[in-house]
Amino acid sequence: MSQNQQIDSTYVVIGGGIAGISCVEALKLYTTEPVLLISESPIVKVVTDIKFYTKIAAGFKVEDRNLQCIDNTEYIIDKVIAINSIEHIIYTVNHQEIKYKKLCLCTGATPKLLDDKDYVIGLRDTHSVEYFQSIIGSANRVMIVGNGGIATDLVYKLNGIEIIWVIRDEHISSHFLDAGAAEFFSNYLNTQQSSDKIIKRFRYYGERSSGAALGPDWHCGAMFGNHDGKNVIIEYKTEVKNISKSDLVRIELTNGKVYECDFVISATGVMPNNNFDIRDGRSIDIASDGGIKVDWKMETNLSDIFAAGDVCTTVDWNSEHWFQMRLWTQARQMGMYAAKCMHYVHIKEPLLQDFCFELFTHVTSFFGFKVILLGLYNAQGLDKKDCELLVRVTNGQEYVKLVLQNARVVGAILIGDTDLEEMCENLILNQIDVTNLMDDLLDPNIDIEDYFD
């Protein structure tokens, strides 16, 4: 579309990340009315190869694609600078004015960098990963700061290098794992991968887009440093106090230890990309974590403006076994659900909350093992005194933990090929009293599903 023109569209989505593209694709299924995507970059994130492990839990890949390759999608490549929520007008850097009836903000989040220096790398978008891969081959020692999914995956994927892993918690990957699961993975910290595991993928190149997350397939297989072997040193319950650079990068930790590294990888979380100039005297409600507040219909406090994905924070959602985490899976779910909400509100039809928000689910992999998280898998929000845990561990094969409250399963961690995900999902959703099944639930010699036939 040419510049300096006024554009009218029934539905407008801002953001080319997982939430934004999922929202646009879902809207095209609901309506034949105009749908417009505004993206800062011609390169967007598209979900592919979706595999459902249960009715709700799904794993998938994310591909970088050029907008020109996405069928039947109207778009402009521009940056939004302001919104008039009363007049329903969006203003862009290139002086375009877009009128909308329903608007969805899917601008994602930006990384929290330890320091804005070239030797501190924040892995958030494709460009930063490509830069990281271009310099890792000459490195002997790096420091990884952070304890989330990308930090954990990076520790596994890096080879031929010494890694100092700095975390604030008492065990690795505490956002996803309990102490038992962390111990299960401890034997794989120094596992070396062979060079034949390097994956070649076709990439599209374009301008950097703020807010768009990497997606679960963020790396290109194994990555190799310049060291003879692999050695992972974990510094628990500490943080970075100071970073400086002479020949090497010098990092002082709050526990008093000092390390010298080739560079630092900052994987310390994200901040919602919520910087919108509302030009009508009103303001958009922001939660304490920086996210745009949305109700159960993904609506903000401003009429006809919705939000989905990392940029939003859910408020007063009455889901007993679901909670928000800024994950790729939830970005996809929220984007699709926001499309449904926008359409049903527009046509003034009754709306029910999507079934996927009945149960928290996340499918990922750590250290080469499939990981499925269901419900309140770490007893989130529960009084630990009222919970009971059932655990089964087979070293090198699987780790299974069920969280029970009042003799009912409310959460599960499933690592490895357990084949228990459907059973666990059904037990959580149906809240079946398992008092008489306690001894059999995790017995590998008993097909527990026979009880429910």
In this prediction, residue 366 has a pLDDT band, given cuts at 50, 70 and 90, of: very high
Interatomic CA distance for residues 22 and 39, integer angstroms:
13
CA–CA gap between residue 447 and residue 57 (Å, rounded): 21
Gap between the Cα atoms of 108 and 62, Å rounded: 15
Tokens representing 158? Answer: 């890096």
**Which pLDDT score, from 0 to 100, does residue 202 have?**
37
* Mean pLDDT of all residues in 292-307: 97
Per-residue pLDDT, averaged over 234-251, amounts to 94
Mean pLDDT of 340-368: 94
Share of the chain above pLDDT 90, in %: 68
Q: Given this model, what pLDDT does residue 95 score?
A: 92
On the question of pLDDT at 268 being above 90, the answer is: no
User: Could you tell me which residue, 104 or 198, shows the higher pLDDT?
Assistant: 104
Coil, strand, or helix at residue 181? helix
CA separation for the pair 66, 193 (Å, rounded): 32
Lowest mean pLDDT among 59-68, 202-211, 216-225, 429-438: 202-211
Q: Alpha-carbon distance 250 to 258, whole Å?
A: 7
pLDDT for 339 equals 98
Phi, psi of 404 (to 5 degrees): -120, 145
Say yes or no to pLDDT of 325 above 70.
Answer: yes
pLDDT > 70: percent of the chain? 90
The predicted model gives 27-50 an average pLDDT of 94
The single-letter code of the amino acid at 240 is V
In degrees rounded to 5, what are phi and psi of residue 145? -115, 120
> Residue 337 is encoded by which pair of tokens?
């659900």
First vs last Cα of the chain: how many Å apart?
57
Inform me whether the pLDDT recorded for 364 exceeds 70: yes
All residues at 6 or more sequence positions from 116 whose CB lies less than 8 Å from its CB, including other chains: none
Among candidates 190, 260, 187, 198, which has minimal Cα distance to 224? 198
> According to the model, what pLDDT value does residue 207 have?
47
The domains found in the chain, sorted by start residue, are 7-108+273-347 (3.50.50.60), 111-268 (3.50.50.60), 368-451 (3.30.390.30)
**CA dist., res. 235 & res. 325, Å (int):** 25
Q: What is the pLDDT of residues 126-169, one digit of tens each?
A: 667 778 888 888 899 999 999 988 899 889 989 899 999 999 99
CA distances from 363 to 60, 64, 207, 385 (A): 8, 20, 30, 28
Q: At what angle do helices 328-346 and 18-30 cross, to 10 degrees?
A: 30
Query: In this structure, are strands 263-266 and 141-145 parallel, antiparallel, or unpaired?
Result: parallel
User: What average pLDDT does this structure show over 424-445?
Assistant: 88
Mean pLDDT of 21-38: 96
* Contacts by 311-320, CB closer than 8 A, 24 or more apart: 311/15, 311/19, 311/105, 311/106, 311/107, 311/108, 311/109, 311/211, 311/272, 311/273, 311/274, 312/105, 312/272, 313/272, 313/287, 313/289, 315/287, 317/357, 319/353, 319/357, 319/358
pTM: 0.89
For the chain, how big is the Rg over CA atoms in Å? 23
**What integer pLDDT is reported at residue 210 of this predicted model?**
53
Residue tagged 């959580």 (tokens) = 428
Q: How confident is the model at residue 211 (pLDDT cuts 50, 70, 90)?
A: low
Average pLDDT, the chain: 88
Does position 223 have pLDDT exceeding 80, yes or no? no
pLDDT attached to residue 389:
94
Confidence of residue 305 (pLDDT cuts 50, 70, 90): very high
pLDDT at 250 over 50: yes
Whether the predicted pLDDT of 451 surpasses 70: no
Give residue-wise pLDDT tens across range 165-199: 999 999 999 989 999 999 999 989 988 776 544 43
